[in-house]
Amino acid sequence: MTDVLQRLPEFAAHHPLLIAAFFGLLLALLGTEVGRLFRGYRELTPAALTQLINRDNALVIDLSSLADYEKGHIPGARHVAVSQFDPEHKDLAKAKELPVVVTCRSGVTAGKAARRLVKAGFARVHTLGGGNAAWAQADLPMAKGRS
């Protein structure tokens, strides 16, 4: 081990681009993790979402397109079009103390909506990691049509 540490300065002198790439990747990884800690919402697995629904009666909001929602969604999820999603809406404001889970087809749109909910003062905001696709891949039940 000490031999490796003694040769490290020589390696760094001969491979400055590798060292720069290593530190660039390290900073990017640290920045991503720090950002994840302070974003104000948690990303859930399908199993964790199931527990949250069963134990805390979580409100699940599905931001998928209407066609995707009708093809299959989490049972009990409420569909809201992305263009009509408003954290200040009176019906949604009633759920500020409830756990709110935002999901979509792939999980990308849900993160943006979750940030809006956190800014609006919602305390328990979550997203489903991987979106409805992760739910289906976990072989959990899917509801079809408008419910």
Look up residue 94 and give its amino acid: K
47 and 97, same domain (yes or no) = yes
Residue at 104 is within a domain: yes
For residues 5 and 52, give the distance between their C-alpha atoms in angstroms, rounded to a whole number: 48
CATH number at residue 48: 3.40.250.10
pLDDT at position 93 is 77
pLDDT at position 147 is 63
pLDDT at position 125 is 94
8 and 33, same domain (yes or no) = yes
pLDDT at position 117 is 92
Q: Which structural domain, as residue segments, surrounds residue 68?
A: 42-137
Q: 128 vs 4, 5, 7, 31, 86, CA distance in Å? A: 43, 43, 46, 22, 19
Exposure of 11 by Cβ count < 10 A (0-12 exposed, 13-18 middle, 19+ buried)?
Answer: exposed
Rounded to 10 degrees, the C-alpha dihedral 45/42/145/88 comes to: 170
pLDDT at position 90 is 80
33 and 62, same domain (yes or no) = no
Number of domains comprising the chain: 2
51 and 118, same domain (yes or no) = yes
32 and 96, same domain (yes or no) = no
For residues 26 and 5, give the distance between their C-alpha atoms in angstroms, rounded to a whole number: 19
Q: Which helix (H) or strand (E) holds 145?
A: none
Instruction: Encode the chain (147 residues) as per-residue pLDDT tens digits.
Output: 778 888 988 998 999 999 999 999 999 999 878 876 677 888 999 999 999 999 998 999 999 999 999 999 999 999 998 888 888 888 787 788 889 999 998 878 898 899 999 998 898 999 999 999 999 999 999 988 876
pTM of the complete model: 0.76
Q: 133 vs 12, 14, 142, CA distance in Å? A: 44, 46, 11
33 and 57, same domain (yes or no) = no
78 and 19, same domain (yes or no) = no
Which residues touch 67 (CB under 8 Å, ≥6 apart)? none
CB 41 within 8 A of CB 82: no
